[in-house]
Amino acid sequence: MDQCIFCKIAERAIPSKVVFENEHVLAFEDLHPQALTHILVIPKKHIATLNDATAEDQSLLGEVILAATEIAKDRRISTSGYRLVANTMAGAGQSVFHIHFHLLGGRSLAWPPG
């Protein structure tokens, strides 16, 4: 996707602080962190929203989530607690239309979210 900012980050056309990468998944620091740990975990494949994922993406999305749990362990927030959030569509706050999970931790997180 030519105009997608996260595809460009995955291709390294836009710089970011990468914290994890494998064949299918990339994770990088959020530009505007909302917690001590705020990492975005994305599939390298362009999928605009969770609504657009299909059965073909089942293992890919599993890989993304498992990568996030490994990063949480590395960051030592797996026992203190973290949140994995995929804002989906504008009404939920999605501003970049390439699936991403926010990995948030390192502070106490209120519930329900706003």
Number of residues that bind ligand 5GP (CB under 6 A): 14
Residues 35-64 that bind ligand 5GP (CB under 6 A): 40
Q: By rule CB under 5 A, what string of x and - marks binding of each residue 27-66 to Zn ion?
A: -------------------x--------------------
User: Which residues lie across from 40 on neighbouring strands?
Assistant: 28, 102
Residue appearing with tokens 């959030």: 85
Dig out the tokens for 103 from the structure.
């990995």
Q: CB 99 → Zn ion: shortest distance, Å?
A: 8
Among this protein's residues, is 38 annotated catalytic?
Answer: no
Contact call for residue 95 and ligand 5GP (CB under 6 A):
yes
| Chain residues that interact with Zn ion, rule: CB under 5 A | 1, 4, 6-7, 46, 98
Q: Which residues bind ligand 5GP (CB under 6 A)?
A: 5, 14, 16, 28-32, 40, 87, 93-96
